[in-house]
């Protein structure tokens, strides 16, 4: 570590590259500053922004079930992200496209400036990329709106050949998943991940 102290603060971060390149994997970490919000600054997010080449971190192997394997039997993929949930898209969209699937990516965020790595996302040749900006912190973008925009892009979410991925903050994930099921999405074709404790919608 950069100092003589050992910092132990377990965190889960998403791998944001589709494959290992030059023995490297990338994660995306937003520095949480606290500031006027009244919340304390993020211990690990601030620490990681001080780490440099040669510093040593203890990490665990990747784990989880939110992977492209879930889409194997489907020909089309609706990939819905919101806020920090966009980071898995950096690792998963390209492999899904390379597998020959029709992929539509819909991302909800507060403003264009909040979307990370926009140039890299734009370089991924999905069938269509949709951005929805809601300055109410994703409170006005309902599952009905999401379903309608995906349908306009040529995806029928009720089609048994369509898989729907959803990755969003804990405050949003349950409502979105429940709402999409109400819109006709089969629970068996719905794959979701929230950045927080695992929960059932």
Q: Tokens 């601030």 — which residue?
A: 46
pLDDT at position 157: 94
pTM for the complete prediction? 0.84
- Low-confidence residues of the chain: pLDDT under 70: 1-8, 34-39, 135-140, 195-201
Question: What pLDDT, in 10s, does the model give residues 80-107?
Answer: 999 888 989 999 999 999 999 999 999 9
**d(Cα 90, Cα 16) in Å, to the nearest integer?**
5
CB 175 within 8 A of CB 135: no
Burial class (CB in 10 A: 0-12, 13-18, 19+), 123: exposed
- φ/ψ region of 112 (left if φ > 0, alpha if ψ in -120 to 50, else beta) reads alpha
Q: Pick from 27, 80, 75, 23: which is nearest to 51 by CA?
A: 27
């Amino acid at each position: 570590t950069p100092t003589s102290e050992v910092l132990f603060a377990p965190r889960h971060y998403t791998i944001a590259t589709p494959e290992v390149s030059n023995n490297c994997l990338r994660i995306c970490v937003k520095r949480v500053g606290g500031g006027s919000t009244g919340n304390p600054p993020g211990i690990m997010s601030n620490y990681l922004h001080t780490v440099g080449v040669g510093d040593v971190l203890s990490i665990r192997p990747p784990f989880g079930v939110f992977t492209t394997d879930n889409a194997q039997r489907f020909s089309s993929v609706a990939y819905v992200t919101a806020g920090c949930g966009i980071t898995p898209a950096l690792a998963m969209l390209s492999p899904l496209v390379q597998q020959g699937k029709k992929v539509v990516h819909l991302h909800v965020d507060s403003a264009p400036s909040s979307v990370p790595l926009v140039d890299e996302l734009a370089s991924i040749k999905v069938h269509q990329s949709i951005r929805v900006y809601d300055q109410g912190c994703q409170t006005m973008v309902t599952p009905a709106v999401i379903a309608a925009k995906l349908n306009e892009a040529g995806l029928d979410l009720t089609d048994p050949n369509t898989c729907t991925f959803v990755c969003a903050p804990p405050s949003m994930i349950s409502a979105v998943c429940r709402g999409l099921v109400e819109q006709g999405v089969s629970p068996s074709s719905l794959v979701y991940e929230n950045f927080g404790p695992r929960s059932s919608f």
